[in-house]
């Protein structure tokens, strides 16, 4: 995100490549799908920061940088000399953005984890699925949510620094992010002790809100609030439903959602996806098709609105569709200026900018520092 906004971003990774480079490989070299997305607008530097010569490179980078971003437990940052106390002594204006599973405080601070740990411990998995098997979301929303919150924090810290001249630490944690997203469910539990269980795709506190099978595919449709519900009743051909005490308000409709879903499912049984969506849209009832990934790529709105930047990458037979702008700015648009880097692609360039001569760079490489 910061790279899209115009920052020069240097990705520092292990000499043999960090693990995230190889997840879900799609290129001949083994580079993965998420790396192609995340690596856009970044320069690539390989480095071993545990060696003295590597730590010297880190210090030189810190001295000339605005922000250090580290995705590690804070104790590991201390061992590597990238904790805030150390780097702020080098550059008092530096901003350190850290992300870990549990944050730097509390009994779990030193534990490691991934996105799904946040989903599991926030209540999200318990409230997803069929009520028998806790179910994770395949889309890593906790990871992405943490990155977005970190971006907000870094931009706020930069704005403060413009006034104060001082840097600070910006901290996100996967569990904190996940709880931020599930917070309304937790408030309801604390207040009412309902002990909800998952209901597949059916909404808890409104209805009908569910996925429905049409003659040629699936849709999701949802009603929230009385005006929407009344319009839905008219569409179903039974305005009397709006006066049924089981459906008197959103909460009641959520509690009796199974009955509403059955009515809607019967209506969808005789319609194609296109027919159902056309009628729902004509009545201004929010609905959309449930897409497989290829259908998302082929969607006419996605194409017409130019959601994707088609990024070439060595070893790929065709360009990777990378989202062009997660957020659109009218005067200063986000841009993808360069593809994800090959492993260590810009190491020599960056070291030269730091003042290293060619012979020194070769020695660093021979010593497996870079």
Q: Find the DSSP H helices in 193-336.
A: 226-236, 250-255, 257-269, 273-282, 293-298, 300-304
The answer to whether the CB of 87 falls within 8 A of the CB of 63 is no
Kindly report the CA angle at 211 between 236 and 267, in degrees rounded to 5? 25
CA distance 64 to 277: 55
The answer to whether the CB of 49 falls within 8 A of the CB of 16 is no
Is residue 74 pLDDT above 90, yes or no?
A: no
CA distance 139 to 286: 22
Position 73 scores a pLDDT of: 81
Is residue 56 pLDDT above 90, yes or no?
A: yes
CA distance 137 to 27: 25
Per residue in 158-199, pLDDT (tens digit) is 999 999 999 999 999 999 999 999 999 999 999 999 999 999
Paired sense of beta strands 320-323 and 42-46, if any: unpaired
The DSSP-derived string for 102-114 is S-SSSTTTT----
CA distance 317 to 364: 34
Please report, for residues 72, 100, 147, 180, the alpha-carbon distance to residue 174 in angstroms, rounded to integers and kept in the order given.
11, 6, 10, 10
Which has more pLDDT, 33 or 72?
33
Per residue in 247-295, pLDDT (tens digit) is 999 999 999 999 999 999 999 999 999 999 999 999 999 999 999 999 9
Q: Which residues pair with 209 in a beta bridge?
A: 222
Position 206 scores a pLDDT of: 96
Report how far Cα 59 is from the mean position of its chain's Cα atoms: 30
Please report, for residues 196, 257, 272, 364, the alpha-carbon distance to residue 130 in angstroms, rounded to integers and kept in the order given.
12, 15, 26, 55
Per residue in 82-127, pLDDT (tens digit) is 999 999 999 999 999 999 999 999 999 989 999 999 999 999 999 9
Count of Cβ atoms closer than 10 Å to residue 51 Cβ = 15
Sheet containing strand 209-214, strands side by side: 209-214, 217-222, 287-289
Domain positions in the chain: 3-183+296-367, 209-290
CATH of domain 209-290: 3.30.1540.10
Please report, for residues 36, 184, 310, 320, the alpha-carbon distance to residue 316 in angstroms, rounded to integers and kept in the order given.
11, 43, 12, 8
**Superfamily covering domain 3-183+296-367:** Crotonobetainyl-coa:carnitine coa-transferase; domain 1 (3.40.50.10540)
The DSSP-derived string for 157-200 is HHHHHHHH----EEEEEHHHHHHHHHHHHHHHHHHH------BT
Residue 139: both structure tokens together: 């889309």
CA distance 167 to 147: 19
Per residue in 241-255, pLDDT (tens digit) is 999 999 999 999 999
pLDDT band at 72 (very low <50, low <70, confident <90, very high): confident
* Dihedral angle over CA of 123, 128, 129, 134, nearest 10: -20
Per residue in 117-147, pLDDT (tens digit) is 999 999 999 999 999 999 999 999 999 999 9
Sign of CA dihedral 297, 1, 145, 78: positive
**Which parts of the chain are beta strand (E)?**
9-13, 42-46, 67-70, 95-100, 169-173, 209-214, 217-222, 287-289, 308-311, 320-323
The answer to whether the CB of 97 falls within 8 A of the CB of 67 is yes
CA distance 111 to 73: 8
Q: Which residues pair with 289 in a beta bridge?
A: 219
Radius of gyration of the chain, Cα coordinates, nearest whole angstrom: 25
CA distance 195 to 89: 49
Report how far Cα 119 is from the mean position of its chain's Cα atoms: 13
Per residue in 308-352, pLDDT (tens digit) is 999 999 999 999 999 999 999 999 999 999 999 999 999 999 999
Paired sense of beta strands 320-323 and 217-222, if any: unpaired
């Amino acid at each position: 995100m910061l790279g899209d906004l115009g920052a020069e971003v240097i990705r520092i990774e292990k000499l043999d490549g960090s693990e995230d480079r190889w997840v879900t490989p799609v290129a001949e070299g083994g580079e993965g799908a998420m790396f192609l997305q995340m690596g856009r607008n970044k320069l690539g530097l390989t480095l071993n920061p545990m060696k003295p010569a590597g730590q010297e490179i880190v210090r030189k980078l810190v001295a000339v940088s605005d922000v250090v971003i580290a995705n590690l437990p804070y104790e590991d940052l201390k061992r590597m000399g990238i904790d805030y106390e150390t780097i702020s002594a080098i550059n008092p204006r530096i901003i350190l953005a850290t992300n870990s599973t549990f944050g730097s405080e509390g009994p779990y601070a030193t534990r490691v984890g991934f996105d799904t740990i946040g989903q599991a411990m926030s209540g999200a998995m318990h409230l997803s699925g069929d009520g028998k098997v806790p179910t994770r979301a395949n889309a890593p929303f906790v990871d992405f949510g943490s990155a977005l919150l970190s971006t907000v924090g870094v931009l706020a810290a930069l704005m403060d620094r413009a006034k104060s001249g001082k840097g600070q630490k910006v901290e996100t944690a996967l569990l904190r992010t996940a709880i931020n997203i599930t917070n309304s469910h937790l408030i309801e539990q604390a207040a009412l002790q309902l002990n909800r269980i998952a209901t597949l795709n059916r909404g808890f506190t409104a209805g009908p809100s569910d996925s429905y099978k049409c003659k040629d595919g699936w849709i999701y449709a949802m009603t929230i609030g009385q005006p929407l519900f009344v319009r839905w009743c008219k569409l179903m051909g039974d305005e009397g439903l709006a006066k049924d005490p089981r459906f008197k308000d959103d909460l009641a409709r959520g509690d009796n959602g199974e009955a509403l879903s059955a009515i809607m499912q019967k209506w969808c049984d005789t319609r194609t996806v296109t027919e159902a969506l056309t009628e729902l849209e004509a009545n201004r009832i929010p609905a959309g098709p449930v897409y497989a990934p290829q259908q998302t790529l082929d969607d006419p709105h996605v194409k017409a609105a130019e959601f994707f930047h088609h990024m070439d990458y060595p070893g790929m037979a065709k360009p990777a569709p990378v989202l062009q702008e997660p957020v659109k700015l009218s005067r200063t648009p986000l841009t993808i200026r360069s593809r994800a880097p090959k492993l260590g692609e810009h190491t020599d360039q960056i070291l030269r900018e730091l003042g290293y001569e060619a012979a020194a760079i070769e020695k660093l490489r021979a010593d497996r520092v870079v």
